[in-house]
Structure 1
Amino acid sequence: MAEFDGALAIDLAWRGGLKPDPLLTVSQWSDKHRILSQRASSEPGKWRTSRTPYLKEIMDCLSPASPVRRVVFMKGAQIGGTEAGNCLIGYVIHQAPGPMMAVSPTVELAKRNSKQRIDPLIEESEALKELVKPARSRDSGNTVLSKEFPGGVLILTGANSAVGLRSMPARYLFLDEVDGYPGDVEGEGDPILLAERRSATFQRRKIFLVSTPNRKGLSRIEREYLASDQRKFHVPCPECGERQPLEFGNLTWDEGKPDTARYRCAHCDALIWEHHKTHMLENGEWVATAEAESRQTVGFHLNSLYSPVGWFSWADAVEMYEQAQKNPDLMKGFVNTVLGEPFEEAFEAPDWTRLYDRRETYRIGEVPDGGLFLTAGVDVQKDRLECEVMAWGREKRSWSIDYFVLDGDTARPEVWGQLDRVLAKDWKHACGQRLPIRVMCVDSGYATQDVYAWVRKHPQATWGPAGAVARQQRTVVAIKGRDRDTALLLTVSKADAGHRKRGLKVWSIGTPVAKGELYRWLKLPRPTDEGLESGESYPPGYCHFPQYNEEFFKQLTAERLITRMVKGFPQASWEKEPGKRNEALDCRVYARAAASIYGLDRFEEKHWRRLEEPLRIADMSEDETISAPQQQAGSTRQHRRVIQSGYMRR
């Protein structure tokens, strides 16, 4: 060997390159080297694959000795999918170094994952601690989003960053919670495709896609799983020994008593208690149920019934199901997180005539019993403002209180003066008290600077540690609708208002979330008159309407969710039907966002009681309430005012 500076390092590197791939699999390495930190695990200590036996085959398919290149894992909650990916990260650093990329739905989540999971993974393992220098050391190569180690580097990024996804070639890809990825990354296409391009030049690449599914037809993890061999974990019955996948439909229990949940064997009808599950999991095996499009891709599906004893129980699953049966808004979460399946949502608008026919006789402009606080949504057009005032009550039930069409050029102050009067009004409650509008949301997509100028004159909402805060009555919020379905309230940013910012904030809202929720609510069945007389309640989310005219209901149901192929991938968007107007739908969406800002989505019992106390709802006698005939007598006069305000003229 030649004698010169660096000769020894070159010799060692050359010899290292000749070393064959390690014989340890990912699961064997994890059992030998991984320690779960108290910071990141409910069961700290040495990793035991035997605790989650179903992960062994998944992890071993990620080992270099396996011919598999792509591993797809569609799962429920409390299964351990993300931890399997973290085991792969530790294995790569220690046993099979190379460039690796771990992708979270957003950059912020990637940073959080780095601090809460990856740093403890490295710090608690002696084998890894030697290879990744501490972040505090000089030139360590260890930052929040980058971890250097001999022979490779780990890059952590978010699927919302096109720059991060194309930052470097990667032999290993860990794509976590892929159904939370945006549909199109900064105009460059699907984030999974962008990430996989980073590994295209590596013949022995490994790609691990993990996620709880979201919406059927749009779910990325479902798409990838259906293209795989669709493996299911079959476990033996402790009575007859026959193997079968665990399915929620085979659970049986006494109604209202989740703790009585038992599993009925599909072969011998024996009732199995959950404590048998440990033995069943230890003796389970994966069974392919389809032929994959590529022999290098395998797919696994697990629901949360497989969750180990002590994590998520069958009783927990039953309790969630019973709650979802009472509240349809919870059913999507049950299907996604417990069944591990995509939820098929019915986004077709209900027939407007059905809503028109079920109108009620409470007086327009007056808050019925059950309504506890008011919000308003305002849509801005060139020649008018349209505004709906809504009352909200327990379990997100709502009442439309009034609908205004304020005619006038929105570039002139007169029409905004009319809106001032709507905002300043106190609305009579059926108990005799009066309620103010708590939060009014105004769309700033049109006549933006005029909206900003008006909003600035009123109290504004803020974003605190617990979320949105509207401390004052008649709070006004400038909003912009975004075509994102990740959350109802998305971001809060400073308004671009020239030299007159002075703290003005614009709230971005996810209109697809509000529209999908509304259309589910509009389809809720009305209890029968007999049921109401016997004390039956309206279902959670039920929408009440007074005697509005036909045009209101046509506008409320004017949009459809359309799925189109964009750059080769399905993408859903809400589109207005030709020839229809949708101002009433927009106003309803903005009033719903206002309710969320006020706190509707996080209210607990104490909040509802606080709203009820001044209205004396709990102590009112029948003599104090307004009777139905009285309400009906006032409805015709008030309805005429709504019609004359602009609907029938157009």
Structure 2
Amino acid sequence: MMYSRNGVKVNYPSWILDSMKTLKPPERMTVSEWADKNRIIPAGTSNQPGRWKTEKTPYLRGIMDAFSDDRIEEIVFIKPTQVGGTESILNILGYIVDQDPASTLVVYPSDTLAEDISKNRIQPMLRATRPLAEKFREEDSKLLALQFENMYIPLTGANSAASLSSKPIRFVLLDEVDKYPPRSGGGKEADPISLARERTNTFAYNKKIFITSTPTLKTGAIWKEWESCTRQLYFYVPCPLCGKFQRLRFQQIKFIKEGTKTERAESAYYECPYCQSQLFDADKHKMLKQGRWMNEEKMDGKKQSPKKTGFSLNAIYSPWLSFRDVAYKWLDAQGDQEKMQNFVNSWLGEPWEDVGSTAGAQKILDNRGIYTRGIVPDWAQIITCGVDVQQTCLYYTVDAWGQGKKIYNIDHGCISGTDFNTLWDVINQTYYDQKGKEWYIDLTLVDSGDQTDLVYDFCYIHNPLTIPVKGASNPIPSRYRVSTIQKEDSVARGLKLIICDGSYYKNMIYAKINAQDGSWQVFDGVDQEYCDQVTSEHKVFERKNGVDSWVWKKKTSSADNHYLDCEVYAACAADQMGAFALLEEQPEAEEEEPTYQREQDEEENWFGNDDDYDWGGDWI
């Protein structure tokens, strides 16, 4: 081939031409620019296959481009659900292979998950994206060791100490770090993040560490990394009416206070905190397009170093979720601690603080109702009783249940000794409401963990109004399960025995006590001992045999919790009677005035003039 150099035509040999191509530096571009130009999402790996477009998720641009920013050494990304966090990691991997090839380690919580993502996400991307396919040596690769022309990518689980502490690595990508074990190598090595970070030590000036996860607790790995960031950034978007930049926050999602969960969620909109305008889903995409990653406003006037930059998002920003979706998720989580923790972690992108599992005696005193002891509220539909059996006494509580899982403690007490005849007098007595209507206890669950033979005999005599109950010693898939008494020499052999998930009902009870809607109340004149016992426990986070879990524990070792156990059994009895299925009666819906929603004109100067806006800190 003929080339002209200084006006002279030269015929270069082919081997020189190949060398010139090899030596040619790659085109300088950011991760998002590379992805927009090259990335193909293959069918079957996403619900939106085809060419990657960063404009669909504008907030990911700053996160991805931080990887191609020479000032930044570590990137921390608080990753909620459905914001495209996994795709950002794939784009970074593709960028490394094509633009800046170097040894790269990717760490997942387990080898099994690493193999699954390699097989179903990473390798399909490599095959579908041309510049990556040209460099991918598939025949020489394994699921956990991807080979390329001039680099390799090992993938590993966080529990593998050998994989985390061997050869030097320039780039480290750590995914879902809050699910990592506290130590690698069966607990004999350091924590996985430290081991992986140490592998970059030989690359003092050009290493990159990307750490991401959905948060769990404030003691979790991702939150600790976030707190150690030298710069913390949030995604600010402008109101389409007043132009003020703001973070999208859950407390600004407004919806009606009455109606079913679906009806309330359908009314959801976003209220600008500055001009109180109602913003709708049609507004959100325009807001996202104009969004910018910034420090918290003013940030005390301090300049933040970008060396370790953190990015925090919540699911409200997701283009695939509506304000209605977020509102419904919150409404559906009310009264269910596990659902609420998932909402806080995966939707709000915040660590869970278990304030709902802590309640003080004063909270119960504040929930005193208008009825005196023994009086049934006029909204009651079911009455249940729970009995905690001790060697020296029998504790009991009697609760009325109504629509919307309203709970009213109408009576409780302690019977000295093991006088089951007196207990039957309590269970069989007549209660009255203010109109004089007679009420009786529908079902009683009696603890059979102590004085088992006496409890079985008692429940046999008074069956089906009384049923023995035991707390589940191991996790069960439902709130309770029905078993049978197997004791050979018991007259109650073959009768029903309830196995109860005490943790679930304690979650529900404490959520009701802490609720602001008065859904848990006690009779006027309630005694201090009852209040102290019902609130004698709290939930703590424990790791046992390598497994993290929430466990209910007494606040102090000397505290009594008998009335709390009684309330658990009364709640389980109410559950069996169908109380949890009771719904609030809804008033007939009034015809609402139509809501005016402005047209969305692409040429409209909806953004406003931001030239005079004080950005309050760094932004990218």
For the aligned pair, the TM-score class normalised by the smaller chain equals: 0.5 to 0.7
> Which residue of 2 is the match for residue 312 of structure 1?
321
| Residue correspondence of structure 1 range 552-563 to structure 2 within 5 A | 557=536, 561=540
* Pick aligned residue for 1:50 from 46, 51, 55: 55
Q: Deviations over 1:15-70 (max 9, x none)?
A: 9996646512211121122111222211111111111111112111112x532111
Q: Cα–Cα, structure 1 residues 121 and 441, in superposed 2: closer, same or farther, change >3 Å?
A: same
Q: Is it true that 1:525 corresponds to 2:505 in the alignment?
A: no
2:331 matched residue in structure 1: 322
1:118 to 106, 122, 126: 122
Write the deviation string for residues 561-612 of structure 1: whole angstroms up to 9, x where unpaired: 4899xxxxxx999877675389989999x99xxx9xxxx9xxxxxxx9xx77
Cα distance in 1 for residues equivalent to 2:316 and 2:452: 54
1:267 and 1:303 mapped to 2: Cα distance? 20
Are the equivalent residues in 1 in contact too, given 2:533–2:563 (CA < 8 A)? Answer: no
- Aligned-residue CA RMSD in angstroms? 5.5
Q: Relative to structure 1, is the Cα distance of residues 322 and 440 closer, same or farther in structure 2, using a 3 angstrom cutoff? A: closer
Alignment match, 1:202: 203
How has the CA–CA distance of structure 1 residues 197 and 518 changed in structure 2, closer, same or farther, with 3 Å as cutoff? farther
Q: TM-score, normalised by structure 1?
A: 0.59
Asked if the contact 2:388/2:562 (under 8 Å) is kept, the reply is: no
The change in CA–CA distance for 1:514 and 1:83 in structure 2 (over 3 A counts) is farther
- Among 119, 122, 127, the alignment partner of 2:131 is 127
Aligned to 1:567: none
Aligned residue type for 1:207: I
Q: Does 1:333 align with 2:342?
A: yes
Against the structure 1 CA distance between its residues 370 and 24, is the aligned structure 2 distance closer, same or farther, given a 3 Å change threshold?
A: farther
Q: Comparing 286-295 with 197-206, which one deviates more in the overlay?
A: 286-295
Matched residues in 1 for 2:278 and 2:530: separation?
Answer: 56
Give the counterpart letter for 1:111 in structure 2: E
Deviation at 1:195, TM superposition (A): 1.9
Provide the residue aligned with 1:454 in structure 2: none
Residues 423/442 of structure 1: CA separation in 2 closer, same or farther (3 Å cut): farther
What letter corresponds to residue 106 of structure 1 in structure 2? S
Q: Deviations over 1:491-512 (max 9, x none)?
A: xxxxxxxxxxxxxxxxxxxxxx
SS at match of 2:312: strand
Q: Partners of 1:109 and 1:163 in 2: how far apart? A: 18
* Residue 103 of structure 1, CA deviation: 1.8
In 2: Cα distance, 1:279 partner to 1:188 partner:
49
Matched AA of 2:126: I
Cα pair 1:213 1:340 within 8 Å, conserved: yes
Aligned partner of 1:449 in structure 2 is none
User: Amino acid of the residue matched to residue 201 of structure 1?
Assistant: T
Please report how far the alpha carbon of residue 128 of structure 1 lies from its aligned counterpart in structure 2 after TM superposition.
Answer: 2.2
Question: 1:317: how far off?
Answer: 0.8
Aligned partner of 2:30 among 25, 48, 51: 25
Query: Once the two structures are superposed, what CA deviation does each residue of 1:155-181 show, in whole Å capped at 9, x if it has no partner?
Result: 222223333432443211211222222
**Secondary structure of the equivalent of 1:188?**
coil
Whether contact under 8 Å (1:173, 1:207) holds in the other structure is yes
Deviation for aligned residue 1:249:
2.2
**Residue 82 of structure 2 aligns with which residue?**
78
Give, as a single letter, the amino acid of the residue that structure 2 aligns with 1:232: Y
Unaligned runs of 5+ in 2: 1-14, 258-262, 375-380, 390-395, 408-442, 487-500, 544-548, 583-620
Q: State the secondary structure of the residue aligned to 1:278.
A: helix
Distance 1:326 1:578 in 2: 26
**8 Å Cα contact 1:436-1:474 kept in structure 2:** no
Q: 1:36 aligns with which of 41, 50, 54?
A: 41
- 8 Å CA contact 1:555, 1:580 repeated in 2: no
User: Relative to structure 1, is the Cα distance of residues 169 and 347 closer, same or farther in structure 2, using a 3 angstrom cutoff?
Assistant: farther
CA distance in 1, matches of 2:21, 2:350: 45
Secondary structure of the 1:257 match is helix
Equivalent residues of 2:446, 2:467 under 8 A apart: no
Q: Trace 1:363-402 onto structure 2 (pairs within 5 A).
A: 401-402=445-446
Look up the match of 1:344.
Answer: 353
In structure 2, distance between residues paired with 1:354 and 1:334: 25
Contact 1:102-1:155 at 8 Å conserved across structures: yes
The one of 297, 301, 311 equivalent to 2:308 is 297
Report the Cα offset of residue 182 of structure 1: 3.0
Q: CA offset at residue 312 of structure 1?
A: 0.9
Aligned residues: 483
- 1: CA distance, partners of 2:563 / 2:303: 44
Q: Separation in 1 of the partners of 2:95 and 2:505?
A: 43
Describe the shift of the 1:337–1:562 C-alpha distance in structure 2 as closer, same or farther (beyond 3 A).
closer
Give TM-score scaled by structure 2 length: 0.62
Distance in 1 of aligned mates of 2:273 and 2:255:
16
| Structure 1 residues 280 and 474, CA gap change in structure 2 (3 angstroms) | same
CA contact (8 A) 1:349 1:519 kept: no
**In the alignment, what sits opposite 1:381?**
none
Aligned partners of 1:433, 1:517: CA distance in 2, in Å?
Answer: 21
Three-state SS of the structure 1 residue aligned to 2:267 is strand
* SS of match in other structure, 1:525: helix
Mapped contact 2:165–2:196 kept (Cα < 8 A):
yes
Change (3 A) 1:232 1:527: closer
% identity of equivalent residues? 30
User: Deviation at 1:343?
Assistant: 2.5
> Secondary structure of the residue that 1:230 maps to in structure 2?
strand
SS in 2 for 1:173: strand
Find out whether 1:99 has 2:85 as its counterpart.
Answer: no
Cα distance change, pair 562–209 in 1 and its aligned pair in 2 (3 A): closer
CA contact (8 A) 2:536 2:561 kept: no
The Cα shift of 1:328 comes to: 5.2
SS in 2 for 1:330: helix
Larger radius of gyration: 2
Indicate the residue corresponding to 2:254 in structure 1. Answer: 252
Structure 2 residue 84 is matched with structure 1 residue 89: no
1:67 paired with 2:71, answer yes
Q: Note the alpha carbon deviations across 1:547-574, whole angstroms, 9 max, x for none.
A: 9x9799869936774899xxxxxx9998
Aligned to 2:497: none
- Cross-structure match for 1:141: 141
Partner of 2:279: 272
For 2:112 and 2:564, locate their aligned partners in 1 and report how far apart those are by CA, in whole Å: 30
Q: 2:169 aligns to what SS in structure 1?
A: coil
Distance 2:561 2:283 in 1: 57
Q: Distance in 2 between matches of 1:523 and 1:282?
A: 39
The CA deviation string for residues 232-256 of structure 1, in whole angstroms up to 9 with x for no partner, is 2222222233322222222233344
Cα pair distance change 1:582/1:132, threshold 3 Å? farther
**2:233 is matched with which residue?**
231
For structure 1, the residue ranges without an aligned partner over 5 or more in a row are 1-9, 362-367, 379-387, 407-417, 444-460, 477-512, 565-570, 601-607, 619-650
Letter in 2 for 1:338: W
